[in-house]
């Protein structure tokens, strides 16, 4: 197939540091190329890919101090895509909204959008009701719950390359708990600190602090880090550092307090054989197999008890379940099936979660 992948502009593909959506777009693009498709990536000019790269912005917006407002750049990027649209069988968007301007165009039948964010915000309801027929892909079944009836083409769980991550038997779990991601109220790093303090385990926090969350860091998390000597704040880390950071942890803490659409860090930990202690929110019950790849908890007390029971987990089993459920090859096959359905013009694809799709492909 001739496939266009249209990435967000905030980060490069792959991102230098934090950037879950751009990382998934990069993994998907490279795997589609490996599987023999003709792929073009529309992304920032500092992206790296084996696909054909069409720069839609010189460098990632987060790294360009001259960019104050990304909206004009998205409009220009969309124009770049439109002028090349006839060259592709599928236009796969990962940018939320701007492509909806194409919904009435002659080539709209080749457009599909993966929604990567939360969908329970009030302004989204009238928006999606205005475009009920544009095919959408969710990244978990739970992500769909707030939405009105839409043309869902499928649910595709994220996937990671099998190479480049800690393989079975290589992980050397240490004594520390890990928190990886972003410092923000909904990610609840305060819970992670409380769990570590109450369980008597050291905690290492590898996370970025966005400008929007600086006050939360200054007033809440920063003082907690200073007040607890067993808590170490490392800061933002790159992809090449994650395997060591997660693989050497005794567990990843995922103490979220919001409807997480997927939670890429959970499968990043699983790829290292590291169990995940996660609060029951959003996609967590779809990603974590309770008692096999981690524990799903309801309270801080539950999480502390789970820390005390980490010895029961087999890291080789966790790695194997990651390989079976969350490989990039499986993710790409799921998307190719959706592309084929759209190209064949068979209408809406039947609702299938990624595990069901995987069984069909197998």
pLDDT, tens digit (0-9, with 9 covering 90-100), for 99-139: 888 877 877 789 999 999 999 999 998 999 998 888 999 99
| Band of pLDDT at residue 347, cut at 50, 70 and 90 | very low
- 152-163 tens-digit pLDDT: 999 999 999 998
The span from the CA of 151 to the CA of 149, in Å, is 7
Q: Is the pTM value of this prediction over 0.85?
A: yes
pLDDT at 164: 60
pLDDT of residue 350: 39
Distance CA 100, CA 113 (A): 9
Per-residue pLDDT for 235 more than 80? yes
The average confidence (pLDDT) of the chain is: 90
Give the pLDDT score at 241.
86
Averaged pLDDT, 319-341: 97
**Spatial CB neighbours of 37, under 8 Å, sequence gap ≥ 6:** 1, 2, 3, 336
Side by side, which strands form the sheet with 294-297? 231-233, 203-208, 177-182, 251-254, 276-279, 294-297
pLDDT reading at 276 higher than 60: yes
Give 65's pLDDT tier (boundaries 50, 70, 90).
confident
> 215 Cβ partners below 8 Å, 6+ apart?
none
- Would you say residue 26 has pLDDT above 70? yes
Average pLDDT over every residue of 25-46 = 97
Across 93-97, 188-192, 277-281, least confident range = 93-97
pLDDT in tens, 167-211: 444 456 688 999 999 999 999 999 999 999 999 999 999 999 988
Q: Which sequence spans correspond to the domains of the chain? A: 2-159+327-361, 177-324
Average pLDDT over residues 242-261: 95
CATH topology of domain 177-324: Rossmann fold (3.40.50)
Higher pLDDT, 262 or 62: 262
Do the domains 177-324 and 2-159+327-361 match in fold?
yes
Give the per-residue pLDDT at 259: 95
pLDDT at 35: 96
Specify the CATH architecture of the domain 2-159+327-361. Answer: 3-Layer(aba) Sandwich (3.40)
Non-local CB neighbours of 108 within 8 Å, separated by 6+ positions? 102, 134
Alpha helices (runs of H) in 174-314, residue ranges in sequence order? 189-199, 214-216, 222-227, 239-247, 264-271, 284-287, 300-307
Per-residue pLDDT for 39 more than 90?
Answer: yes
**Confidence at 362, pLDDT banded by 50, 70, 90:** very low
* Inter-residue contact 182 to 210 (CB < 8 Å): yes
- The lowest-confidence range among 10-14, 146-150, 270-274, 350-354 is 350-354
Q: What ranges in 170-211 are assigned the alpha helix state H?
A: 189-199
pLDDT for the residue numbered 240: 77
Q: What is the mean pLDDT of residues 8-21?
A: 87
């Amino acid at each position: 197939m001739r496939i266009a992948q249209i990435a967000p502009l905030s980060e490069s593909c792959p991102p230098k540091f934090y950037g879950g959506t751009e990382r998934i777009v990069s993994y998907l693009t490279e795997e589609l190329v490996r599987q023999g498709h003709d792929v073009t990536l529309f992304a920032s000019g500092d992206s790296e890919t084996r696909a054909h790269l069409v720069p839609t912005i010189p460098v990632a917006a987060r790294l360009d101090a001259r960019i104050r407002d990304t909206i004009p750049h998205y409009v220009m990027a969309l124009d770049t895509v439109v002028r090349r649209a006839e060259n592709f069988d599928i236009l796969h968007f990962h940018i939320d909204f701007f492509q909806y301007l194409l919904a009435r165009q002659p080539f709209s039948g080749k457009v599909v959008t993966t929604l990567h964010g939360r969908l329970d915000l009030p302004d989204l309801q009238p928006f999606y009701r205005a475009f009920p027929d544009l095919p959408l892909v969710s990244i978990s079944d739970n992500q769909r719950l707030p939405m009105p009836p839409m043309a869902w083409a499928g649910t595709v769980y994220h996937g990671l390359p099998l190479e480049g991550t800690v393989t079975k038997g290589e992980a050397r779990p240490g004594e520390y708990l890990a928190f990886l991601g972003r410092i923000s109220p909904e990610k609840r790093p305060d819970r992670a600190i409380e769990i570590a303090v109450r369980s008597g385990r050291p905690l290492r926090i590898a996370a970025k602090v966005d400008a929007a969350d600086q006050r939360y860091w200054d007033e809440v998390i920063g003082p907690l880090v200073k007040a607890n000597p067993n808590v170490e704040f490392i800061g933002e880390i790159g992809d090449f550092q994650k395997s060591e950071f997660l693989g050497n942890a005794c567990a990843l803490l995922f103490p979220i307090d919001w409807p997480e659409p997927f939670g890429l860090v959970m499968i990043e930990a699983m790829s290292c054989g590291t169990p995940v202690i996660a609060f029951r929110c959003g996609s967590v019950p779809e990603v974590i197999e309770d008692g096999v790849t981690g524990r799903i908890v309801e309270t801080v007390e539950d999480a502390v008890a789970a820390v005390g029971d980490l010895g029961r987990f087999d890291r080789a089993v966790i790695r194997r379940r990651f390989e079976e459920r969350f490989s990039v090859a499986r993710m790409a096959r799921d998307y190719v099936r959706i592309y084929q359905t759209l190209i064949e013009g068979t209408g809406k694809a039947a609702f299938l979660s990624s595990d069901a799709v995987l069984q069909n492909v197998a």
